[in-house]
Amino acid sequence: MSTVALKELSRSKCFAGHVIKYSHPSRLLGCDMKFSMFLPESKPLEKREQKLPVLYFLSGLTCTEDNFMQKAGAQRKAAQEGIILVAPDTSPRGLGIEGEDDSWDLGTGAGFYVDATTEKWKQYKMYSYITEELPGIINQSFPVDTTRVSIAGHSMGGHGALVIGLKNPDKYRSISAFSPIANPTDCPWGVKAFSAYLGPDKDAWKAYDASELIANYSGPSKKILVDQGKADQFLEEQLKVERLTKAKNDSGKNVLDLSLRLHDGYDHSYYFISTFIEEHLEFHAKQLKA
């Protein structure tokens, strides 16, 4: 594997580690991509660098690689647990696709973590970027234990985390989500994005729908944590998180350990995420250190 040229854009010390932002040329997407990471101090282990587990966090619509690192307050717990955090950008940028900047919920900042199949959007391969290209770069460049990886996300990124974790159960030890788009084949955001990126065949959409994947899951046992605020303005029309539990119950299978927690008074913002992020890190740490 050839070495990817990482360009360091910024670095700040934080809880005895560093928050670092990088850019790199993406062979897959055809543009430069950015990601932010929290890298805890690595302790010497038998005269070699200690390998650390990694948690990928996927952000939501309109977000960049900065939102989670700047707003969630995850670094203190990540430092305590010795977990690397990686937060990628949410879409390719600057590809020159007609209309890519016309709408906040399609195109730039709205990759939906799918591999687009329509000709217009064919460079939008965020699913493969998150599952293949980016981990390859992270594993090559940092002290990562490649056997200890988990995934989480918020909103569109919660959808992405659930879909990617369920479709790749051997890659990710645990999955968590805040306010995920749980049934995108049946909500306005999802229908708009999937129609553009995947075309009119609605059967093809099911491959990126967490509720459909849970209903048909046949992989190894997996723990999933989902937190949802009851005051979330998108809950009823867009998120439909109760369908995750329904899909699991209707499947009659117990291989997925799904915990859906509903919280009075909380909305869709990072105030909600920051309230419960340490519990998510504790949840993942138990699986990553098992």
| Calpha distance 148→174 (Å, rounded) | 10
What mean pLDDT, rounded, does the chain reach?
96
Catalytic residues: 155, 232, 268
Rounded Cα–Cα distance for residues 7 and 66 (Å): 16
Burial bucket for residue 168 (CB in 10 Å: 0-12, 13-18, 19+): middle
SS3 letters for 152-177? EEECHHHHHHHHHHHHCCCCCCEEEE
Q: Does residue 265 sit in helix, strand or coil?
A: coil
**Cα 88 to Cα 65: distance, rounded to the nearest angstrom:** 5
User: What is d(CA 98, CA 120) in angstroms, rounded to the nearest whole number?
Assistant: 8
Does the pLDDT value for residue 43 go beyond 80?
A: no
Structure confidence at residue 5 (pLDDT): 87
Share of the chain above pLDDT 70, in %: 97
Q: What is the pLDDT of residues 85-96, one digit of tens each?
A: 999 999 999 999
Render pLDDT for 165-205 as a digit per residue (tens, 0 to 9): 999 999 999 999 999 999 999 999 999 999 999 999 999 99
Which one, of 193, 48, 46, lies nearest residue 112 by Cα?
A: 193
Whether pLDDT at 16 is above 70 = yes
Q: Give 40's pLDDT tier (boundaries 50, 70, 90).
A: very high
Provide the pLDDT for residue 41. Answer: 87
Which two structure tokens, joined as six digits, stand for 5? Answer: 């040229």
CATH fold for the domain made of 7-288: Rossmann fold (3.40.50)
Tokens of 147: 């056997």
Neighbours of 280 (CB within 10 A): 24
pLDDT (average), residues 282-290: 96
* Helix boundaries (H) for 107-209: 126-128, 134-141, 156-167, 188-198, 202-205
> End-to-end distance of the chain based on CA atoms, in angstroms?
30
Distance between CA atoms of residues 122 and 141, nearest Å: 28
Amino acid identity for residue 36 in this structure: S
What are the residue ranges spanned by the domains of the chain?
7-288
Instruction: Kindly tell me if the per-residue pLDDT of 47 is higher than 90.
Output: no
Report yes or no: 228 and 212 within 8 Å, Cβ to Cβ.
no
8 A C-beta contact, residue 241 and residue 226: yes
150 near 137, Cβ under 8 Å?
A: no
Euclidean distance between CA atoms 244 and 248, whole angstroms: 6
Which is it for strands 31-39 and 44-45: parallel, antiparallel or unpaired?
A: unpaired
Say if pTM beats, i.e. exceeds, 0.75: yes
Query: Does residue 207 sit in helix, strand or coil?
Result: helix
